Amino acid sequence: MHSEELEIRTGSSEVVRDLTRDCARFLESAGAEDGLLNVWVPHATAGLAIIETGAGSDDDLLAALRELLPADDRWRHRHGSPGHGRDHVMPALVPPYATVPVLGGRMALGTWQSVCLVDTNGDNAARTVRLSFLAG
């Protein structure tokens, strides 16, 4: 198994950050052939999604999360900025992990799929992402 940690600056706004190039660089440096890429975010308020980016789907995902999980005072978890409790519920919908098949050293993603970090928590400006390659 080969692993690496990335620090991703997400800033103080909701963000969908495309990690696909970072994942590809990691696989190249790991000398990956066939196996599985596991992507893990060790945070209680961030997740990973495999979605299309650049055509509005990333913004649509954030809009859907705002609609499903409004940043208001309904949440029992109340530390941090107003509505922060929703950030702790978000990983139940957008999980903190993703596993992608790797064939010939490349992720077997569909044409429009990207591996993305989803962070709705403006209170935490930096995220750790752990990449692990398991050879098959």
Give the pLDDT of residue 136. Answer: 82
pLDDT the model gives residue 53: 92
Report the candidate in 100, 97, 116 with the shortest Cα–Cα distance to residue 108.
Answer: 100
For 117, the 3-state DSSP assignment is: strand
What are the residues facing 15 on neighbouring strands? 119
Q: Encode pLDDT of 70-116 as tens digits.
A: 888 887 877 777 778 888 999 999 999 999 999 999 999 999 999 99
C-alpha radius of gyration, the chain, whole number: 15
Stated pTM of the model: 0.93
Q: Which amino acid, one-letter code, is at 83?
A: G
Q: Which fold has domain 2-135?
A: Jelly Rolls (2.60.120)
Q: pLDDT value at position 6?
A: 97
Structure confidence at residue 132 as a pLDDT band (50, 70, 90): very high
